[in-house]
Amino acid sequence: MTADGSSLKPPQAARPVSAGPPASAFEGTGTASRALSERIARRFFQVCAMLAALAAAAVIATLASESALFFMEVSPVRFLTELAWTPLAEEPRFGILPLLAATAQITAGAAVVAFPLGLLTAVYLEYYSDPRAARILTAAVIVLAAVPTVVYGYVALNFVTPALRNVWPSLEAYNGISACLVVGVMILPTVTLLSRSALQAVPPSLTDAGLALGASSARVLLRGILPAASGGIAAALALAVARAAGETMIVTLAAGNQPGLTWSPLEGLRTLTAYIAQASMGDAPSGTMEYRAFFAVASVLFVITYAVHALGRWLAGGRSRRRDAAARARPATAGARR
Amino acid sequence: MKGFRNHGLIGSVCSFAAAVTLAAAVTPIVILLVQAGGVLDFGFLVGTPSRFAAQAGVGPALAGTLWLTLLTAALACPVGVGAAVYFAEYAPRTRAVQAIESAVSNLAGVPPLVFGVTGLALYVRGLGLGPTVLAGGLTLAMLALPTVVVTSKEAIRQVPAGVRAAAYALGATRWEVLRRQVLPAAAPGILTGVTLALARTAGAAAPLLVIGAASFITYAPATPGDLLVALPTQVFAWSARSQPGFAALAAAAGVVLLALLLVLHLASLALRRRLAGAAR
């Protein structure tokens, strides 16, 4: 890709440091002052980049150092094998599994809601809708993406749960199923919009060729377009899953804070995020195990979401990487046919 | 015409899914408006939280969120855009730089909650700021920064290479090329990214909850040193109360938050139109 600006550098040694009138059509009192503003600009942008890197490093270092203190007292084996997370109990137990299981349940449930709906909506937008309907639907999805998650949490607790309990009276006030549904709605824009851009990247010639060969539109879609877009669709799913796993307000409000390990979606449960949000409201003093426990849980959350997000970005980038590789491999004459 | 002419079974299934998506997008906002209906008035906007649902208002929370958004914009925008310019235009293509760049970019996918936990350690406890508006602003700035960097970098890289080549050919220095050509052309895209980042932080409840936002403060924060209150955490606090009347308050505070985000987006849109006109 030649659009990458960084490949284009100003010509070296094109500007001899000598006195005299400015050599270019650009304003400036002289070469010296232009060279000075050049140096100042470079230094400013460098400092900004260093600050951004510093902020990133601070996030990682804080999590790592407090977690290290946590793991000096609680062995990683205990962390991974105990079946309860009760840092405040008389005999505290620090087993991450119940929290992980709850996060996995909510995330999987949300993906089951959002993935088919988002993908089919994207296919509708790209291949079946008229432009007006597409505009309205896209605008609605963008608005959906802009709604803060605490508002969704409110809707889950005050609308979705009561509605579900009308149908299903044995449902608890705090339950996993309401949280799954609403987190699914929350990640729906991510799935829809990113799947749609994956579909947009499929060359129209593929569709034309399939139809010209007499394939039905269903066959073209299922055997041609969707496989061609699969990398981008997988990326959409990964980025949406990373968001669902880190979602806090919906699960805190709708799924509650039950400490037990449960697989029933009718009961309340406690995700990684809900534990952090609820526990810290009790102002744990610095230096206690309770305080360090947040950082251990936050680190687990960080590693999971960072990895899934990076995977998603890698999958999304894969398409253009493959295209570049293909462009390089193609003989120069092939381009002339276009 | 890119679409398929005959719809068939798959077309019907997709249309149905699209209708469900549309309903899912509209329903939360309708619910919110309906449930907030009786509460929203001028008294609610300027009032303070109260034990009595009928007298409560969002004055302090609204002021808190305005403060936080201003602080986040002031802290994250210059640094984020500056860093994006460095990564897109100046940085050498070494492995070390690319590792730093991708570390910063991937932070955009880390949940807001995690930034709250680090904000608690760094600002509330580390710098000893306590649960103040300033600590909240610094935390939200950390949250906004990766998004600003990623989107600004993307906008800068979309400026055609020919623009730079032409300016260099006329004898411009790198800073002159940036200031006169690249940044004006990228400005609308940068603005979009900044707006998205600010909207995301203005609506973020989780990090503020973690660093200790209050929900029952009867005065509006006048300086960044005052105690932290914000609209999203106020929505949470009222949602979590089971007494009658508080659900409607939470809905009304949610409507105020949405209205604020709408104003932010409209202002950005107006500014973007002007910038796009100026670049032409």
Tell me the shortest Cα–Cα distance from A233 to chain B, in angstroms. 16
Do A201 and A105 reside in the same domain of the chain? yes
pLDDT confidence tier of residue B52, bands split at 50, 70 and 90: confident
Nearest CA in chain A to B112: A246
A124 with B3: Cβ contact below 8 A: no
Tell me the shortest Cα–Cα distance from A104 to chain B, in angstroms. 15
CB atoms near residue B132 (< 10 Å):
20
Strand partners, A94: A85
The 8 Å CB, 24+ separation contacts for A87-95 are A87/A279, A87/A289, A87/A290, A87/A293, A88/A290, A92/A289, A94/A293, A94/A296
How far is CA B12 from its chain centroid?
A: 37
pLDDT, position A287 = 79
Q: What are phi and psi of B151, to 5 degrees?
A: -70, -40
Q: Is it the case that residue A107 has pLDDT exceeding 70?
A: yes
Scan residues 169-188 of A and list those with Cβ closer than 8 Å to B: 185, 188
pLDDT, position A12 = 53
pLDDT confidence tier of residue B130, bands split at 50, 70 and 90: confident
pTM more than 0.95: no
Q: Is residue A62 in some structural domain?
A: yes
The pLDDT tens digits of the residues spanning B24-34 come to 999 999 999 99
Token readout for B262 is 């709408």
- Chain B positions touching A125 (Cβ under 8 A) are 18
Do A191 and A313 reside in the same domain of the chain? yes
Last residue of a domain, one of A73, A104, A139: A73
CA dist A148 → A185, B71, B205, B234, B265 (Å): 12, 19, 8, 13, 14
- Average pLDDT taken over every residue of chain B: 89
Q: Is residue A332 in some structural domain?
A: no
The pLDDT tens digits of the residues spanning A45-73 come to 999 999 999 999 999 999 999 999 999 98
Which structural domain, as residue segments, surrounds residue B143? 55-279
Out of A24-33, A156-165, A257-266, B131-140, least confident range = A24-33
A47 with B145: Cβ contact below 8 A: no
Q: Is it the case that residue A86 has pLDDT exceeding 90?
A: no
Residue A294 touches chain B, beta carbons under 8 Å: yes
Q: What are phi and psi of A238, to 5 degrees?
A: -65, -45
Q: Is it the case that residue A211 has pLDDT exceeding 60?
A: yes
CA distance A60 to A299: 9
Last residue of a domain, one of A73, A106, A126: A73
pLDDT, position B10 = 86
Of residues B143 and A86, the one with the higher pLDDT is B143
Token readout for A317 is 């980038």
CA distance B46 to B42: 7
Which one, of B48, B75, B56, lies nearest residue B133 by Cα? B75
pLDDT, position A45 = 95
Which one, of B71, B55, B68, B65, lies nearest residue B218 by Cα? B55
Which one, of B147, B102, B113, B133, lies nearest residue B214 by Cα? B133
Residue A33 touches chain B, beta carbons under 8 Å: no
Do A116 and A187 reside in the same domain of the chain? yes
Do A56 and A99 reside in the same domain of the chain? no
CA dist B271 → A187, B79, B265, B277, B278 (Å): 29, 20, 10, 10, 11
**For chain B, what percent of residues have pLDDT higher than 70?**
97
Q: Is it the case that residue A324 has pLDDT exceeding 60?
A: no
Tell me the shortest Cα–Cα distance from B223 to chain A, in angstroms. 23
Closest in B15, B125, B257 to A124, CB measured = B15
pLDDT, position A34 = 85
The pLDDT tens digits of the residues spanning A218-230 come to 888 889 899 999 9
Range A122-139 average pLDDT: 91
B146 with A34: Cβ contact below 8 A: no
Range B98-115 average pLDDT: 90
Q: Is it the case that residue B148 has pLDDT exceeding 90?
A: yes
**For chain A, what percent of residues have pLDDT higher than 70?**
82
Residue A320 touches chain B, beta carbons under 8 Å: no
Tell me the shortest Cα–Cα distance from B278 to chain A, in angstroms. 19
- Chain B positions touching A315 (Cβ under 8 A) are none
- Chain B positions touching A209 (Cβ under 8 A) are none
Do A217 and A118 reside in the same domain of the chain? yes
Tell me the shortest Cα–Cα distance from B113 to chain A, in angstroms. 7
Closest in B4, B11, B120 to A280, CB measured = B120
> How many domains are there within chain A?
2
Which structural domain, as residue segments, surrounds residue A224? 86-327
pLDDT confidence tier of residue B2, bands split at 50, 70 and 90: low
Residue B74 falls in which region: left (phi positive, over 0), alpha (psi -120 to 50) or beta? alpha
Q: Is residue A196 in some structural domain?
A: yes
Contact B230, B65 (CB under 8 A): yes
Pairing type for strands A85-86 and A93-94 reads antiparallel
Closest in B106, B173, B257 to A310, CB measured = B106
